[in-house]
Chain A
Amino acid sequence: MTSAVRRLAGPAAAAALAAAVVGYVGAVDPNQAGHYPTCPFLFVTGFYCPGCGSLRAIHAMAHLDLLTAVDRNPLTVAAVPLLLWTWLRWTRRAARGRARTWAAPPWAVWSLLGVILGFWLLRNLPGLEWLAP
């Protein structure tokens, strides 16, 4: 019993941290200047990075405004179901006390890298402003 509790400490801590971050970003509006530091990449280069707009997307999702969230950063919204699924698998594994035996197929990880890099480029191009935050 205690060992199961100890094994579930990791997933529980991750869930608590995620809830705290969503709660904070939902309460403290990133749309107002001065609440959060600017993205260093945007600050230095003037270009958007793939993560730009993710705070505003999390804020919108915390207020259940999915359309605005997709408008700010579609990758952040797409990451939510993926993270939930990974977290569920992690929790189930921890509850059963099993080690991870599954490794994501390499093509999936490589295409994820491609999507991030492509998104980074495309959202800075003229004519694709709808991808920009």
Chain B
Amino acid sequence: MRACGSVVVPLPPILYGEVTPMSTDGPYPPSAPEPDPGAPAPYGQPAPYGQPGPAQPPAYQQPGAYPGGYPAQPVYGAPAGPPPDNFLVWAILSTVLCCLPLGIVSIVYAAQVNDKWLRGDVAGATESARKAKQFAIWSAGVQAVVLVLIGIFYVGIFALALGTASTAP
């Protein structure tokens, strides 16, 4: 535990002063704590990894000194650049004006766009945006078909009424 503090907190000046006299095999501090039995425990803890994130590479100078210690590029926030259009307005319009489950599916995909984008999943966000657009279009298409069917229905009733009227005595 105390080794953790002496490794992480004091940067090169103290480490160099302590390490160089007893081990001459390497000029870099990481070579000294490695064989130390107290060292593995602090390395396993997440705390030293999370906090000095940006400060660690300059302290150890070499990226290769830590094989597999760090994931390459963890993405936490939204990527740079404009987010993809989530077609939310069209999704809602197609739900409200077309009243179809396809519009709801479109809203779900539209919500996924921002969700994935803000988590850094660019490809997923683009794919969800494509689907949101697709389902809004299908919703509008089915709506058009249903309206035509309703029109035919009314025309049919009208024709039926005319027919019965004409055949009535």
* Contact of B114 with A51 in the complex, beta carbons under 8 Å: no
Q: Which residue of A lies closest to B111 (CB)?
A: A109
Q: How far is the CB of A119 from the nearest CB of chain B, in Å?
A: 10
User: SS class of chain B's interface: helix, strand, loop or mixed?
Assistant: helix
Interface residue B9 (Cβ < 8 Å from any Cβ of A): no
A-side interface residues, number (CB < 8 Å): 30
B30-38, B42-50, B100-108 - interface stretch = B100-108
Residues of A within 8 A of B (CB): 37-44, 49-52, 54, 75-76, 86, 99-106, 109-110, 112-113, 116-117
B7 interface residue per 8 A CB criterion:
no
Residue-by-residue, is B108-149 near A (CB-CB < 8 Å gives 1, otherwise 0)?
A: 101101110110000000000000000000000001001100
Which of B21-29, B88-96, B161-169 lies on the face that meets chain A? B88-96
For the A-B complex, the count of residue pairs with Cβ-Cβ distances under 8 Å equals 78
Given contacts A37-B150, A38-B150, A109-B114, contact A100 B82 (CB under 8 A): yes
A-B CB contact pairs (8 Å), 8 listed: A42-B99, A51-B99, A76-B96, A103-B83, A109-B110, A109-B114, A112-B88, A113-B104
With beta carbons under 8 angstroms apart, the residue of B83, B92, B97, B115 that contacts A100 is B83
Q: Are B150 and A109 in contact (CB under 8 A)?
A: no
A40-B143, A40-B147 given; A54·B96 CB < 8 A: yes
Which residues of B56-81 have CB atoms within 8 Å of chain A's CB atoms?
A: 78, 81
A52 to B95, CA, bound (A): 11
